[in-house]
Amino acid sequence: MAKHIDMYDTTLRDGSQGEGVSFSVADKLDITRELDSLGINYIEGGWPGSNPKDMDYFEAVRKLKLKNAKVTAFGSTRHAKNTPANDPNIQKLVEAKTPVIIIFGKTWNMHVTDALRVSLDKNLEMINSSVKYLKKKTGEMFYDAEHFFDGYKANPEYAMKTLEAAADGGAEALVLCDTNGGTMPLEVAKLTAEVVKRFPGLKVGIHPHNDSGMAAANAVEAVRAGATHVQGTINGLGERTGNADLTQIIPAVELKLGYSSIGKKNLQHLTEVSRFVYEAANLPLRDNQPYVGRSAFAHKGGIHVSAMARNQSTYEHITPETVGNERRILISELSGRSNLVARSKKLRDNPEQMKNVLKRIMELENEGYCFESADASFDLLVQKVLGEYEPRFNLDSFRVISESSKDGRRMSEATVKVDVNGEMMHTVSEGDHGPVNALDEALRKAMLPKFPQLAELRLVDYKVHIVNAQAAAEARVRVVIEFAYQSEVWSTVGVSENIIDASCHAIVDSLEYMLYKYPSSSKKSVKRKATARARR
């Protein structure tokens, strides 16, 4: 049986410290469900002594029936002036009633004397007594050695004494933290191996930060050196430049090192969970993210695509389906036959139509269009060039008015005339989030009676690019809009000298694509993501 590596997720605590990230209690509960379904072993829910929201979470999470994960409460060693029994933060950890508690303590002698302002011996006693007290109050007791690597380099003997104090207190896992994120992989491997050798009966863990861009590599090196417990966050969310990204570490452990963690079956849901957390955090997807990013298995070069048609391993280190992702063949004026054939089977045996598609792509890209980031617009383009597209609606005209008042109130109103199956619909809608929102709402309002499935379509990202900046005020703009329906995500593009007109082209493309792919309303719940979204 393969060696098991515990995956410990701290997205809800350390991840929420990232700039621009804020989770509600409902968000945290939904993410907990997703992480549990993914097979994560431990979920750090928060610091119950730091804010009321985390205490609300710990009370609510006890009602969840988790199958794989144990929820963990995070805190610190007792205050120097208190005993564990009368320390408010220690007691909050007990009140959280979690099956696992983890506390951090000072490892770096400089932090002990300058930050805590206590003696080195006093710090050791604080670690030992805190761990010993909490060990009696919970099922599993873990210890985070804050700044371990920096502390070891400054005073190796004292750094080891702090681990001994935690171990003597009853800690079952000693987690080595690269808190400042400046340690290199070779150093992590060497020092982790020393701790594993020094404490053969305990779990040794790693908690890397990414300030040097080495967090995932440091986690992998620690595992190779004997660590069996990895702490990180989904998508690498976290303070400053973030924590170690579990969406990179989990497949590396499972697929590259041959160990077990969440299991290969659960690995197929990794991309789905990554996108769920981005959505809950209200952050855009990071396209170039390894394994789970939209560009992770995207191919543009014709030579690459041609080679992959013969053997997919020529330009992919794993199959995208292994981690729940998908292969994407990008289309541009540089595309060759291989790209078009890979994207559209209908063009494989139709060289004349292939020429027509390439010609049309070149014409549109000369106007400023870019199809490599607009997969849905490309698919519609092929259908239209082949003469196989049957429009389900036709936009006759639209008008958008934006108004700003002296009191700071801003309002946008869109009016559209749409021919829907021969019936002219004339609708008006206001947008709380600007003119594009108003236009999107008006178009859908016109078509919802005939196409109710459009109610589930979500606009998730909006990007604007200047095509020819040298034209100044007369420059064309390219608008790329990303939409999502259930578990599928697609992008469309529009180009115009008027940003609202360009946006309209992209929105119309997306609505057309939605009705082309989903001509009737589907009540099917897609995997776990749709279920979790419904709970929110």
Q: Phi and psi of 9, rounded to 5°?
A: -100, 130
| 373 plus 401 within the same structural domain | no
Task: Please indicate, yes or no, if residue 31 is contained in any of the structural domains.
Answer: yes
In tens, the pLDDT along 118-128 reads 999 999 999 99
Q: What is the 3-state secondary structure (H, E, C) of 139-207?
A: CEEEEEEECHHHHHHHCHHHHHHHHHHHHHHCCCEEEEEECCCCCCHHHHHHHHHHHHHHCCCCEEEEE
Does residue 69 contact residue 36 with C-beta atoms inside 8 Å? yes
280, 311, 332: which is the final residue of a domain? 280
| 406 plus 351 within the same structural domain | no
| 99 plus 227 within the same structural domain | yes
Rounded-to-integer distance, Cα 508 and Cα 275, Å: 25
The pLDDT score that the predictor gives to residue 323 is 93
385, 402, 418: which is the final residue of a domain? 385
330, 352, 385: which is the final residue of a domain? 385
Task: Please indicate, yes or no, if residue 28 is contained in any of the structural domains.
Answer: yes
How does strand 458-466 pair with strand 328-329?
unpaired
Task: Please indicate, yes or no, if residue 530 is contained in any of the structural domains.
Answer: no
| 10 plus 43 within the same structural domain | yes
The pLDDT score that the predictor gives to residue 120 is 94
The pLDDT score that the predictor gives to residue 533 is 36
| 262 plus 122 within the same structural domain | yes
11 to 116, 243, 253, 256: CA distances (angstroms): 27, 9, 19, 24
Residue 424: domain span? 393-517
| 106 plus 170 within the same structural domain | yes
Mean pLDDT by 10 residues, the chain (536 residues): 93 94 93 97 93 92 95 96 95 96 96 91 96 96 97 96 98 97 97 97 97 98 98 97 97 96 94 91 88 83 60 78 81 52 57 75 79 82 82 91 78 91 90 85 92 90 80 79 86 91 93 88 42 35
| 145 plus 175 within the same structural domain | yes
The pLDDT score that the predictor gives to residue 512 is 92
Other CB atoms within a 10 A radius of the CB of residue 390 amount to: 8
**CATH number where 400 lies:** 3.30.160.270
Task: Please indicate, yes or no, if residue 170 is contained in any of the structural domains.
Answer: yes
**CATH number where 213 lies:** 3.20.20.70
Task: Please indicate, yes or no, if residue 526 is contained in any of the structural domains.
Answer: no
Rounded-to-integer distance, Cα 230 and Cα 207, Å: 6
Task: Please indicate, yes or no, if residue 287 is contained in any of the structural domains.
Answer: no
472 to 475, 479, 480, 497: CA distances (angstroms): 5, 17, 20, 11
82 to 8, 85, 416: CA distances (angstroms): 30, 8, 68
The pLDDT score that the predictor gives to residue 534 is 34
| 213 plus 348 within the same structural domain | no
Does residue 134 contact residue 103 with C-beta atoms inside 8 Å? yes
Burial 499-529 (b: 16+ CB within 10 A, else e): bbebbbbbbbbbbbbbbbebeeeeeeeeebb
The pLDDT score that the predictor gives to residue 78 is 95
Task: Please indicate, yes or no, if residue 273 is contained in any of the structural domains.
Answer: yes
In tens, the pLDDT along 218-276 reads 999 999 999 999 999 999 999 999 999 999 999 999 999 999 999 999 999 999 999 99
| 374 plus 398 within the same structural domain | no
Concatenated DSSP letters of 412-457: EEEEEEEEETTEEEEEEEEETT-HHHHHHHHHHHHHTTT-GGGGG-
How does strand 173-178 pair with strand 140-146?
parallel
Rounded-to-integer distance, Cα 271 and Cα 319, Å: 13
Task: Please indicate, yes or no, if residue 292 is contained in any of the structural domains.
Answer: no
| 364 plus 421 within the same structural domain | no
- Count of domains forming the chain: 3
